[in-house]
Amino acid sequence: MKNPMFWVLLTGMAILLIHQGLPVHSQGDSQTDNKVMDNITVRQGETVFLRCPQGDIVTHTAWLNRSSILYAGEDKWSVDPRVSLVTLNQEEFTIKIEDVDMTDEGPYICAVQTSRRPRTTSVHILIQVPPTIINLSKGIVVNEGSNVTLMCQASGKPEPSFTWKLLSPSGDLASEDEYLDIPSISRQRAGTYECTAVNDIATDVQTVEITVNYAPSVSEGRDVGVTLGQRGVLECEADAVPEADFEWYRDDRRIFNGFDGMEIEDAGQLSKLTFFNVSEADYGNYTCIAINKLGSSNTSFVLYEVIEPTSSTLLQGPGAVQDGNSGSMGTHVHTYTCLLLAILQFLLRF
């Protein structure tokens, strides 16, 4: 069975074939019939069957991977356990390769020695690999205005293509590349970015977080009117990343929590200064300062007095009014005066 001359010829022929890039048709001057079969496309991990038609007058037959013999007849030459014989008879010579991988891609040749002349059949195995994102930028924290580039590298065959998406706030992004450039990033561009790598076989998706830091900006303080002895609350709201720390001042004097029946309560973007029982001395000008490592912002509030007609006044009528405008005037006049007072107080704030 093992005719040395045949194998020498075979190996030489195979090397020649590889060298010439697998000619589709035999050359006229050749003594060999060369046939090229359709490419076999198979996914990584699957099993591929290599089938070679024989003929009833075959004397020698072999399957080669490039120039190395996998099987010569029923003799296995390959040491690879994934390679095995399926069928060997007068019609066909079939071997299989299990759990194929990228390195198995390439030309495979079936060489047959008939009584007349040698014949080869070559087939090209193409391996497909699903995309896997192998190198994605880590989550980053940047200051507003920075130039940001995100990277998403993926393996896969065919070569994967990429899409980028900003998930929250949602929006598709222009890049169709491994790289996403975000020049001079704004706070609106902070969020979760999704990279999708896709090829003919599958898709891989991963996300990365961008945090954009910016200095606080506090919303303008609204002055608050409170009646003596009542509860009063000043609210200071700051938009900032990272979250701001708050400081409260009465004129130039810093106020601390628990001071004089006051309470300072911070919850995220909001700081509240509460007076549990407003006294005459509490009326005045307050300033809230929001601070983070990128800067600060402040606003001022005036806590002013509101004199409300007491409930007893309303119940007892004009006779009980304490402003001196009581007496013979009618209820209508009194109501009018009250209204005027309220308007006056409102105007005095400015």
Ligand X SMILES: *[C@@H]1O[C@H](CO)[C@@H](O)[C@H](O)[C@H]1NC(C)=O
Q: Point out which residues bind ligand X (CB under 6 A).
A: 38-39, 65-66, 70, 78, 80, 83, 97, 103-104, 124, 126, 134-135, 146-147, 183, 229, 277, 285, 287, 289, 296, 298, 300, 302
| Cβ nearer to ligand X, comparing 104 with 204 | 104
| Cβ nearer to ligand X, comparing 4 with 229 | 229
CB of 339 to ligand X, least distance (A): 25
Question: Residue 216, preceding bond cis, omega within 30 degrees?
Answer: no
CB of 37 to ligand X, least distance (A): 8
| Cβ nearer to ligand X, comparing 250 with 334 | 250
Q: Which tokens sit at 26?
A: 């035999």
CB of 80 to ligand X, least distance (A): 5
Which of 262, 336, 343 lies closest to 303, judged by CA? Answer: 262
Say if CB 187 and CB 214 are below 8 A apart: yes
List Cβ neighbours of 28 (8 Å cut-off, separation of 6 or more).
Answer: none
CB of 222 to ligand X, least distance (A): 13
- Rounded Cα–Cα distance for residues 160 and 292 (Å): 42
Residue with tokens 């066909």: 92
CB of 336 to ligand X, least distance (A): 30
Amino acid in the structure at residue 247: E
| Cβ nearer to ligand X, comparing 134 with 270 | 134
The count of residues in the chain is 350
| Cβ nearer to ligand X, comparing 80 with 176 | 80
List Cβ neighbours of 106 (8 Å cut-off, separation of 6 or more).
Answer: 65, 66, 124, 125
